[in-house]
Amino acid sequence: MEGTMIKQHKVALLIAVMMVLAFGAHAQQVLKGKVSSPFGADPISDAYISIANEENTAQTDEQGEFSITLNQLEGDLTVWAPGFQEQVIPLLGRDYLEIVLIPQRNDYYEVPVKSDAQGSMKGQLLPAERFKPSAMYVEDVLQGAFPGLNVINKSGMPGEGATVNLRGIRSLTGKNAPLIIINGMPYLPDLNNSAIIQGYSPSMFNVLSVDDIDNIKLVTGSAASRYGSMGSNGVLLIETSSPKDMETVIEFSGQYGMAYNNKRLPVLGVDDFKSYIGDVGLTRYEDMGDMLDLFPFLRDDPDYYYNFLYNNQTDWQELVNKSAFVTSNHLRVKGGDAIAKYDLSVGASNQGGTYDNTNFTRYTTRLNAQIELSERFQLVTSMGLTYGNSKLHEQILNDATNPLMAALYKAPILSPFKKDEYNNQLPAYDAVRQFGVSNPLAVVNDTKMESDNFDAFLNTGLNFEVNDHTKMQAVFGYYSGYKRQSAFIPGRSDQTITPQEEGVALNTARAGTGKVSNLFYKVSADIVEELAGNPLEAGIGYQGIMTRHEFDGGFGRNTSSDFYKTLSYVDAEGRYFSGYYNSWNWMSLYGYAKYTMGNQWVASLNMSADGASSTGADASRFGVYPGLEMTWQAKHSPWLKHSHVVNQLDLHVGYGLTGNSQFPTGLSRQFYTSQAYRQLAGIVNGNVANTNLGRERNQNFDAGIDAGFFDRRLVASLSVYQTISSDVIFPQGISSVYGIDQQYVNGAKLENKGIEAALQLRLVDQRDVSWSIGGTINKNQNKITSMEGGAASIIREMDGGKWAVSSAVDQNPYNFYGFVSNGVISTQEEADALGLVDYKGDQFNAGDIHFEDLNQDGIIDDQDRTIIGDASPDFFGSFFTQVRYKKLSLSAQFTFSAGNQIYNGVRREMESLSDFRNQSMAVDKRWQTDGQQTDIPKANYGDPMGNSRFSDRWIEDGSFLRLNNVTLSYQLGKWSFIEGGEVYLAGENLLTFTDYLGLDPVVSYAYQPAWQGVDYGAMPLPSTVKFGFNLQF
């Protein structure tokens, strides 16, 4: 019996050993493969192969072959070789792989790749190596880079930046720009136009140096639900350069060049100007003698003593424009050891403007550090300081402060300098004289407009690795911005600049300070696990931000002389102050999960619940914002996983909710404001509280495809989307008994729908020669679908009633709203037959504009206004080409826009034919005789019939095609103490093709959407030629 049991134990032991050996043999599987380049399938030796959660690694031999023993043929294989891009390839049960690595190249305009790294939000990623080397500002990088993102320069004034919009307008009152996240911290700058320097608002990105950025990611659709009521306009995630290696590396970059503007507006020359003055003067003075006394140059008398004052042929635009020097320099040192790593940088740049005494000088420094406190604790910190100084001129329709308007208005017969009777120029600037126009040289040299900005960032995080699967993080961030602005308009001492405020202000002084603070905090936990054999990523967090925006300005006039330029010396009469204050707080609880099934199906869930202080006391305090996206990675399917043609084929569909709580806190509250009445000041009702005012809501649906073929020589993406915005805040009319005519309510609905496409094709792809082309195109349709209370439209009178915009149902959110013209009334007989009169009862006669009487009451008044255009493009985008021969490459990028319209306020002024200022050359075609056929009305002092009123005459097609950047670059190898780098020659904005009659079709007066496409005499974006280099030591 005992022997039998011993035999049974031996048999059992033998079976157990055999099972262990069998299972062990099954678990250990061998993966083989070959790694080659796309150039004739040449093998790549010394390529590194690894797989997540596996101890074994491998390296290819001289034939590019490898063999690696794995526990299972599942998971993601990572392959990398020097000079090639890293590739991550799912095994999908395969035991043999043929891998083609893509070479690393400096292709600046490649289509951004979709990134969904662990724990991060899915979006389109643009790494720093894809930035244009000559880019000085973040806006330069963003232009034409991302599908759906429309970046429009506000002007060419140094440091002014651009408006940024993603997929149309979603709010009539709140913010319409993407949320900016810098190193994980929301950045909420002040986007208001300056009250001190009119027509100016600094770039929202001036706090960052492009050379400090590691990558930019654009998040759209359902992924933005993680930011709830701050994510309605998409999210721009900006990561600055962080320490990665222990090796000490020194990098220096510099660029140096010239900016210029050769475009000029055609204005009347000497003879045409005199003819025009004669015509308009006859409508002002009944007595010819009175007119000749004011304009003696109209006499045909060569012996007239003062002829020397009027015998000039001055090109004023040439005098105020100049070439300017631009430069940017940046030094970075990074390195460290196993305990602490650092990345320290300093930068200095100067952008000169094409008007005298305009430039933007900026100094930046940033320190990013990573400290290993223990095996599981890590401290990460980022600190940045920026100082910027801007010397500016105003960009409004005012000849006292805008050099362009002064140059256009000023009579060509006058001299810039005073002259004696012998026709000799004197050193002093000539005075205003009888035409009532400032001396342009005095404007550019004597007016003082300056803005100083001080910005500080601090972002500190403590990371705790609980175990191999779970990580926790606590983050504290603080941003502080301080700006100091001043303006002085002289004129009292030498009378070279026209008095302001209806002639009362002989000189003007203004000063103001602004403060912005963002205090951010966040705690989060992230986990990576397996569920049913498939990877699961999930996380939860709590975050909040407290913001303060404040500006205080003082205004005064008439110091005793132009020597005294500050508010301390202004008269007591005319002094006043103005400003604003807005406190906005936000808190959010969020979570996310990403589950990948069989390496094919990916489900991503983002959800948040947040509340903001801007909502009313009786509104719902919290909103819930879920977002779900499903992706099918068809390349990983059984019938495509072995394909050498298809490298990527992802189909995705998503639905998510976001909101918008970024509107002024005061809209839901009762407040009072000051108002002057003669010599007294009082307090009046500033807003009627709406305690039920809540956040706006957005339903986002999008679907698309991302594909790559032929070793990614062809890459394409296509997305369609629809956004329904509800509870949109707008001003609704109320009874005048409240002392104010409107109250803000949640009552409008908007719709955005569109399509975005991106394509990149490598036509030639050889070791020494390559040629790539590609681009993006975007189309968006944006309209208001309904407004509460039965309102069909809202009319906003802009700039004191000089023009208007309409927000109407079934129309674009902001449309130009004015009169419709039908040419010039040619004959008096035609005028009498029309029988049209203005609101005063005065008849429109021959030579006046024929305005359409839309309501057919015979009176041309405000009831005859209608929609006459809008600034939104029908489609926009970019395209590029890049040719490389060995280390030399030539690249070019074009940007375009079609269907957008511009209000040309400059042309309206220059064709008004209503005073003694110079006019556009177009007025040579003005109506002068009965029966004349023309589109320019007659000259008439004061424009009594309103021929120059806001109408479709001033709305122009703003479509354009621009050569945005062209770069010739050469890659440097290791030489002496230089480890590598690049030298380049770049041109920016060299060519623009457009039918727009203004100086630049790329223009926007302010960040607010209602001011898009408004040209108030902005400095055009200059053309620039630069030489630069990036070196590593």
Q: What is the 3-state secondary structure (H, E, C) of 753-805?
A: EEEEEEEEEEEEECCCEEEEEEEEEEEEEEEEEEEHHHCCEEEEEECCCCEEE
Q: What is the pTM of this model?
A: 0.92
Query: Could you tell me if residue 87 is inside a domain?
Result: yes
Query: Could you tell me if residue 469 is inside a domain?
Result: yes
Question: Domain tally for the chain?
Answer: 2
Q: Among 100, 119, 148, where does a domain finish?
A: 100
With 70 as the cut, is the pLDDT of residue 18 above it? Answer: no
Instruction: Please give the structure tokens belonging to residue 988.
Output: 């920016």
Q: Among 100, 125, 144, where does a domain finish?
A: 100
CA distances 492 to 273, 427, 446, 503, Å, are 28, 18, 12, 11
Distance CA 782, CA 165 (A): 13
pLDDT of 17: 42
Reported as a pLDDT band with limits 50, 70 and 90, residue 118 is low
pLDDT of 106: 65
Query: Could you tell me if residue 141 is inside a domain?
Result: no
Query: Could you tell me if residue 847 is inside a domain?
Result: no
Distance CA 349, CA 140 (A): 15
Q: What is the CATH number of the domain that holds 813?
A: 2.40.170.20
Q: What is the CATH number of the domain that holds 82?
A: 2.60.40.1120
Q: Among 100, 129, 154, where does a domain finish?
A: 100
Q: Name, in order, each residue with C-beta under 8 angstroms of 172's C-beta and a sequence gap of 6 or more.
A: 728, 729, 730, 748, 750, 794, 807, 813
Backbone angles phi, psi at 326, to 5 degrees: -130, 140
Mean pLDDT of 216-237: 94
Helix (H) or strand (E) holding 589, with range, is strand 576-597
Instruction: Please give the structure tokens belonging to residue 537.
Output: 């990523």
Residues 94 and 184 in one domain: no
Residues 811 and 687 in one domain: yes
Residues 96 and 188 in one domain: no
Report the b/e string of 255-292 with b at 16+ CB within 10 A: bebebebeeebebbebebbbbbbebbbebbeeeeeebe
Mean pLDDT of 281-293: 90
pLDDT of 678: 66
Contact between 101 and 79 under an 8 Å Cβ cutoff? The reply is: yes
Angle at 178 between CA 175 and CA 179, to 5 degrees: 90
DSSP string for residues in 637-702? STTTTT-SSEEEEEEEEEEEEEEE--S-GGGGS-EEEEEEETTEEEEEEEE---TT---EEEEEEE
Query: Could you tell me if residue 572 is inside a domain?
Result: yes
* Tens digit of each residue's pLDDT (9 = 90 or more) over 66-112: 888 888 888 778 898 888 888 888 888 888 888 888 887 766 667 67
Residues 211 and 70 in one domain: no
Reported as a pLDDT band with limits 50, 70 and 90, residue 644 is confident
* Tens digit of each residue's pLDDT (9 = 90 or more) over 140-155: 999 999 999 999 999 9
Beta-carbon neighbour count of residue 383 at 10 Å? 15
Distance CA 1020, CA 1000 (A): 5
Distance CA 230, CA 774 (A): 33
Residues 505 and 369 in one domain: yes
Q: What is the 8-class DSSP label of residue 862?
A: G
With 50 as the cut, is the pLDDT of residue 966 above it? Answer: yes
With 50 as the cut, is the pLDDT of residue 16 above it? Answer: no
Mean pLDDT of 677-701: 86
* Tens digit of each residue's pLDDT (9 = 90 or more) over 785-801: 999 877 788 999 999 99
Residues 188 and 70 in one domain: no
As a whole number, the mean pLDDT across the chain is 91
Residues 791 and 644 in one domain: yes
Query: Could you tell me if residue 846 is inside a domain?
Result: no
Residues 783 and 873 in one domain: yes
DSSP string for residues in 419-448? E-TTSPEEEEEP--TTTT---HHHHHHH-E
Q: % helix / strand / coil in the chain, to the nearest 5? A: 15, 50, 40
Helix (H) or strand (E) holding 317, with range, is helix 316-320
Residues 1020 and 884 in one domain: yes
Q: Pick the residue with more confidence: 793 or 211?
A: 211
Query: Could you tell me if residue 156 is inside a domain?
Result: no
Query: Could you tell me if residue 763 is inside a domain?
Result: yes
CA distances 161 to 198, 402, 1007, Å, are 16, 19, 10
Distance CA 419, CA 411 (A): 16
Residues 79 and 192 in one domain: no
* Tens digit of each residue's pLDDT (9 = 90 or more) over 228-244: 999 999 999 999 998 88
Q: Containing domain of residue 684, as a range?
A: 179-243+246-262+322-819+865-911+948-1032
Contact between 400 and 198 under an 8 Å Cβ cutoff? The reply is: no
Contact between 406 and 320 under an 8 Å Cβ cutoff? The reply is: yes
Closest CA to 602 of 125, 226, 237, 116: 116
Q: Name, in order, each residue with C-beta under 8 angstroms of 289's C-beta and a sequence gap of 6 or more.
A: none
